[in-house]
């Protein structure tokens, strides 16, 4: 099938893009990498009278190292994120998540902003943004604001972005000290969306005790979820004292609406999620201990 007819717009600044969106209203849609939107249009699962292509907006692309963070433009492709030495060194969790996204063709076209704004419950970048407390920058005709990742994902394919806002960039804080990071997911085939996954970041103090951590599970509900109870159990403990399987069970026990579909029952996904958290914890804890 082919998409329904639409008018095509190519603004060259972010300000022009949001002004155009405000003028055109709900019949308009931003087009970034198009790796999610274009298939939906082609299958007539979605239709818009206007598409606003963001590829000509240079300010939406780029990676900038800052004192205690790394800024990434929303229009930066997955491939650019994956091969950036600055990200690999200072935000390794983001670099490790990138190869898990689709296939190399998708990573060459898809953008980090598109992936985060699409807010797929099984997406890797939303889970990493949540784990690292990223700040997500939005622009509208009213001005700019920063939305904490903890407040950004509101439901399946829905976010805190207003109807006239554009995601322009994101800031990922750099974790100093003895840190370890891991992302684990289970998918039936390479490149498929995960049936369940886990992201873990951990930092140890001079005595080898956990003094900061983030545990996020994804693919097990409408949004990625911070496992607050599991994080609380980890804080202050020595790595050797932690039972990885128990942390996995605690993290997944907090979830209340695990989906069931043709790919697996809720119980099956729960067991996978438990195993992914345990596996991610072992990898992250080992990396922090070896630092």
Domain ranges of the chain: 7-53, 58-173, 178-290
Give CA–CA dist 120/117, Å, rounded. Answer: 9
Phi, psi (rounded to 5 degrees) for 137:
-95, 130
- The reported pLDDT for the residue numbered 42 is 87
114 in Cβ contact with 157 (< 8 Å): no
Tell the residue number behind the tokens 């590829």, with chain if given.
Answer: 55
- The reported pLDDT for the residue numbered 31 is 93
Cα–Cα distances in Å, from 250 out to 88, 146, 184, 216, 274?
30, 31, 17, 12, 8
End-to-end CA distance of the chain: 53
Q: What is the pLDDT of residues 209-258, one digit of tens each?
A: 999 999 999 999 999 999 999 999 999 999 999 999 999 999 999 898 89
Report pTM: 0.95
Tell the residue number behind the tokens 């995601």, with chain if given.
Answer: 167
The two tokens of residue 207 are 């005595």
Phi, psi (rounded to 5 degrees) for 193:
-65, 145
* C-alpha triplet 184, 222, 153: angle, nearest 5°: 90
Q: Can you give the three-state secondary structure of 195-263, one letter per residue?
A: CEEEEEEEEECCCCEEEEEEEEEECCCCCCEECHHHHHHHCCCEHHHCCHHHHHHHHHHCCCCCCCECC
Q: Which residue has the higher pLDDT, 276 or 260?
A: 276
Q: What is the pLDDT of residues 67-84, one digit of tens each?
A: 999 999 999 999 999 999
- The reported pLDDT for the residue numbered 160 is 98
Least confident residue range of 5-9, 36-40, 142-146, 162-166: 36-40
Q: Name residues whose C-beta falls within 8 Å of residue 23's C-beta, 6 or more positions apart in sequence.
A: none
Fold of the CATH domain 7-53? 3.30.43
The two tokens of residue 163 are 């109807």
Fold of the CATH domain 58-173? 3.30.465
Give CA–CA dist 207/167, Å, rounded. Answer: 41
User: 7-53 with 58-173: one CATH topology?
Assistant: no
Architecture of 178-290 per CATH?
2-Layer Sandwich (3.30)
Rounded to the nearest integer, the mean pLDDT of the chain is 95
74 in Cβ contact with 55 (< 8 Å): no
Q: What is the pLDDT of residues 167-202, one digit of tens each?
A: 999 999 999 999 999 999 999 888 788 999 999 999
95 in Cβ contact with 88 (< 8 Å): yes
């Amino acid at each position: 099938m082919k998409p329904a007819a639409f008018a095509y717009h190519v603004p060259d600044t972010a300000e022009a893009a949001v002004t155009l969106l405000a003028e055109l209203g709900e019949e308009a849609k931003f087009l970034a990498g198009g790796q999610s939107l274009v298939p939906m249009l082609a299958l007539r699962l979605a239709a818009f009278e206007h598409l606003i292509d963001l590829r000509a907006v240079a300010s939406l692309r780029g990676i900038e190292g800052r004192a205690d963070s790394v800024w990434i433009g929303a229009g930066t492709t997955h491939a650019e994120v994956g091969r950036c030495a600055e990200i690999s060194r200072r935000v390794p969790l983001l670099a490790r998540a990138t190869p898990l996204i689709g296939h190399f063709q998708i990573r060459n076209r898809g953008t980090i902003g598109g992936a985060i704004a699409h807010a797929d419950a099984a997406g890797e970048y939303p889970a990493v943004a949540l784990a690292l407390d990223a700040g997500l920058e939005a622009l509208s005709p009213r001005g700019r604001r920063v939305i904490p990742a903890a407040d950004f994902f509101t439901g399946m394919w829905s976010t805190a972005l207003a109807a006239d806002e554009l995601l322009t960039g994101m800031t990922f804080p750099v974790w100093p000290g003895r840190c370890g990071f891991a992302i684990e997911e289970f998918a039936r085939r390479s490149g498929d969306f995960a049936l369940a996954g886990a992201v873990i970041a951990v930092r140890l103090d001079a005595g080898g005790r956990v003094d900061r951590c983030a545990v996020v599970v994804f693919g097990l509900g409408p949004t990625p979820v911070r496992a607050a109870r599991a994080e609380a159990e980890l804080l202050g403990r020595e790595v050797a004292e932690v039972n990885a399987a128990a942390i996995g069970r605690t993290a997944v026990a907090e979830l209340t609406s695990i989906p069931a579909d043709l790919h697996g029952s809720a119980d099956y996904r729960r067991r996978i999620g438990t195993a992914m958290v345990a596996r991610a914890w072992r990898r992250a804890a080992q990396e922090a201990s070896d630092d």
